[in-house]
């Protein structure tokens, strides 16, 4: 199981082509830093000077639309307002979170005088497409097919925030020899071929472990019976090869200590998450001399460190922002006192971030 990518707001990754099948079922395909950090809802900062006028036009258009009927069924009408209300019920929370994140980044950019032009966005898309040896139009078609993203969504929701957050993070990234060596071992070194059973109940984990210890040959059947991880369970516990320095030290250390055919103990790899491994062998190193891949490796490590800096900047911005979410009735403030800008008629409660408790 590759442990380097978790679809949270913590570990951004470079784009990966969907044609690679080394871990397609095991990690989300990520097209830039921002899809992890904010997952959409952001427009170009370069348009900020026109925000006020655009809002006025939007409000006027919205008022007109709200007075319109969008459909008629026999002699009854379905209004714009009815559709809007239903949309808010279904996806309003997600859309609002995106808009909140958009405003957090835009305010930070405005404060520091940072802008991202449409030309920069276009150039970045061209660079990414070239990296994967695709014409831009083919890249867009792939995005639409694989991720359901049209060009506007990709530009506005992913590339713009990625570039904006990189500018906010700055360019002070240092790549050490230790960073290079770890990345070399991770990407080109020996890997463990393994099967896995994942559980969220320790009693069940003990039960599965006892059976696996007594009968390792039935590990695939036990994975199908016990594991809560759907992708590996359907494959009899088969997971992508485990690498060094890929994100979970507990899992990695245990895996590399196993001998072929041996079953690990119960490993708590996360809070309330337990894993049992069966080693099925080891791969040979892909490259043995770091100098053969030194230049590419340096660029890769540098990009990873930039993305980590971006993630930290965004988390800091979110932590410092005061967000009162009326839809979810949550607030990032420690106290919930009524103020002139924030009425609390429905017992709005504090939240650790923007997430409801």
Task: Compute the mean pLDDT over every residue in the chain, rounded to the nearest whole number.
Answer: 80
Cα–Cα–Cα angle for 58, 59, 61, nearest 5°? 65
336 pLDDT above the threshold of 60? no
Q: Over the stretch 180-237, which tens digit does the pLDDT of each residue have?
A: 999 999 999 999 999 999 999 999 999 999 999 999 999 999 999 999 999 999 999 9
Cβ neighbourhood burial of 9 (10 Å; 0-12, 13-18, 19+): middle
How far is it, in rounded angstroms, from Cα 40 to Cα 105?
12
Return the C-alpha torsion angle 98, 104, 110, 111, nearest 10: -170
Q: What is the mean pLDDT of residues 148-155?
A: 90
User: What would be the CATH architecture of the domain defined by 190-282?
Assistant: Roll (3.10)
284 pLDDT above the threshold of 60? yes
Which pLDDT band holds residue 259 (cuts at 50, 70, 90)? very high
Q: Which residue has the higher pLDDT, 50 or 153?
A: 153
Q: What is the mean pLDDT of residues 256-277?
A: 96
Q: Where are the domains of the chain?
A: 1-174+294-319, 190-282, 322-357
181 and 290 Cβ atoms separated by less than 8 Å: yes
Q: Over the stretch 161-184, which tens digit does the pLDDT of each residue have?
A: 889 999 999 878 899 999 999 999
Cβ neighbourhood burial of 280 (10 Å; 0-12, 13-18, 19+): middle
Q: Over the stretch 223-232, which tens digit does the pLDDT of each residue have?
A: 999 999 999 9
Assign 70 to helix, strand or coil: strand
Q: From its phi and psi, is residue 71 left (phi > 0), alpha (psi between -120 and 50) or beta? A: beta
pLDDT reported for residue 6: 31
The model's pTM: 0.65
């Amino acid at each position: 199981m590759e442990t380097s990518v978790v679809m949270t707001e913590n570990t951004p990754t470079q784009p990966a082509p969907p044609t690679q099948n080394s871990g397609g079922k095991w990690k989300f395909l990520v097209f830039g830093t921002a899809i992890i950090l904010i997952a959409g809802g952001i427009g170009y900062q370069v348009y900020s000077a026109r925000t006020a006028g655009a809002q006025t036009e939007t409000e006027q258009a919205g008022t007109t639309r709200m007075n319109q009927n969008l459909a008629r069924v026999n002699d009854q009408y379905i209004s714009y307002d009815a559709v809007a209300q239903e949309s808010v019920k279904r996806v309003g929370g997600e859309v609002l979170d995106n808009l909140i994140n958009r405003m957090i980044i835009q305010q930070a950019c405005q404060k520091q005088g940072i802008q991202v032009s449409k030309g920069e966005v276009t150039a970045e898309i061209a660079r990414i497409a070239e990296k994967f040896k695709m014409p831009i139009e083919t890249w867009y078609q792939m995005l639409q097919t694989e991720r359901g993203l049209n060009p506007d969504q990709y530009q506005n929701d992913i590339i713009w925030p990625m570039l904006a957050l990189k500018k906010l993070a700055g360019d002070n990234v240092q790549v050490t020899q230790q960073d290079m060596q770890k990345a070399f071992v991770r990407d080109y070194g020996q890997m463990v071929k393994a099967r896995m059973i994942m559980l969220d109940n320790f009693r069940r984990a003990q039960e599965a472990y006892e059976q696996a210890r007594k009968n390792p040959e039935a590990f695939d059947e036990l994975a199908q019976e016990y594991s809560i991880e759907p992708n590996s369970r359907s494959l009899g516990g088969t997971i992508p090869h485990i690498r060094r320095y890929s994100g979970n030290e507990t899992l990695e250390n245990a895996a590399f200590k196993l001998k072929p055919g041996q079953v690990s103990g119960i490993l708590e790899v996360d809070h309330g998450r337990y894993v049992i491994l069966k080693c099925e062998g080891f791969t040979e190193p892909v490259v043995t001399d770091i100098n053969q891949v030194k230049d590419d490796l340096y660029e890769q490590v540098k990009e990873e460190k930039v993305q980590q800096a971006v993630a930290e900047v965004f988390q800091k911005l979110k932590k410092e922002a005061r967000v009162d979410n009326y839809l979810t009735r949550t607030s990032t403030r420690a106290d919930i006192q009524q103020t002139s800008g924030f009425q609390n008629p429905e017992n709005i409660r504090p939240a650790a971030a923007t997430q409801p408790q």
